Amino acid sequence: MNPVEKLYDSIWKDQATAAPYAGGNDRIDLAIRVVDPGKRFLDLGCSDGVLAEQLTSRFADTYGLDISETALAVARKRGIQTFHVNVDLEPLPFENGYFSAITCLDLIEHVFEPDVLLAEIARVLAPGGSLYIAFPNMRYIIHIKQLLGGKFPKTSGDTAYSYDGGHLHYYTPADVRNMLARHGLATMSEWGIVSGGIRNKWKYRLLKTLLPAPLGQELLSIEFMLKATKPL
């Protein structure tokens, strides 16, 4: 097991669970709401298979791929077809145009070369298919405040395992839109991800009222999700 696999296996030994999903993960809850049905679905970085399990009824076939065999063992208990792949070293083990929908939630900040991953995603995505990609938002106002104060923001909660949970790259929504476009994927929809605790604070409500919508969404969202499609 190489050091990268060892890192993520250690994380999922602590965090993987086969318990029924009861909601509460903002990324997963958003994906459940917005992913359109189709023929075949792939969850890249599927961890213990929670999202794939929730979307099984929308697709004829549902697949999960992850670097952690510990996480995949739990995903298989949920009935997910799994693949153990290190995307930094191996291509995606699927034919061209195989999937009508792919989710890639908080994976792109972990990979060594994001353009290589996006090229593979574009290859295995069917014409007319959709990619749903989520990532920490470096334009979040608290991150900007930390930078102005002389500190680089932490964008992961898994800092007990490695520096910033293994994050290698940092993006704004414009960065990811531009990368998607380079690989022929057109951004169609965008969602800002804000926790319920933040949404209920008076400062958040005030800033949301004062800031114009596109700017406000970027400054007030700790994460972003984009939906991009591959042309027919």
43: three-class secondary structure by DSSP:
strand
98: in domain: yes
215: in domain: no
Q: Which residues contact 5 (CB under 8 A, 6 or more apart)?
A: 67, 68, 69, 86
Neighbours of 115 (CB within 10 A): 11
108: phi then psi, degrees, rounded to nearest 5: -60, -25
pLDDT of residue 163: 94
Order of strands, edge to edge, in the sheet holding 186-193? 81-84, 59-66, 38-44, 99-105, 125-136, 223-229, 186-193
pLDDT of residue 196: 85
pLDDT of residue 202: 93
Neighbours of 192 (CB within 10 A): 18
Please give the tally of structural domains in the chain: 1
Neighbours of 86 (CB within 10 A): 14
38: in domain: yes
Q: What is the pLDDT along the chain (232 residues), one digit of tens a residue?
A: 889 999 999 999 999 999 999 999 999 999 999 999 999 999 999 999 999 999 999 999 999 999 999 999 999 999 999 999 999 999 999 999 999 999 999 999 999 999 999 999 999 999 999 999 999 999 999 999 999 999 999 999 899 999 999 999 999 999 999 999 999 999 999 999 998 889 999 999 999 999 998 999 999 999 999 999 999 9
Strands 59-66 and 81-84: parallel
156: in domain: no
Tally DSSP H helices, then E strands, for the chain.
10, 7
Q: Residue 103 belongs to what domain range?
A: 3-135+163-194+223-229
Region class of 92: left (phi > 0), else alpha (psi between -120 and 50), else beta: beta
104: in domain: yes
117: in domain: yes
Q: Which residues contact 83 (CB under 8 A, 6 or more apart)?
A: 63, 64, 65, 72, 93
42: in domain: yes
The CATH number for 66's domain is 3.40.50.150
Cα–Cα distance measured from residue 130 to residue 231, given in angstroms and rounded to the nearest whole number? 10
18: phi then psi, degrees, rounded to nearest 5: -95, 5
pLDDT of residue 149: 97
End-to-end alpha carbon distance in the chain: 40
218: in domain: no
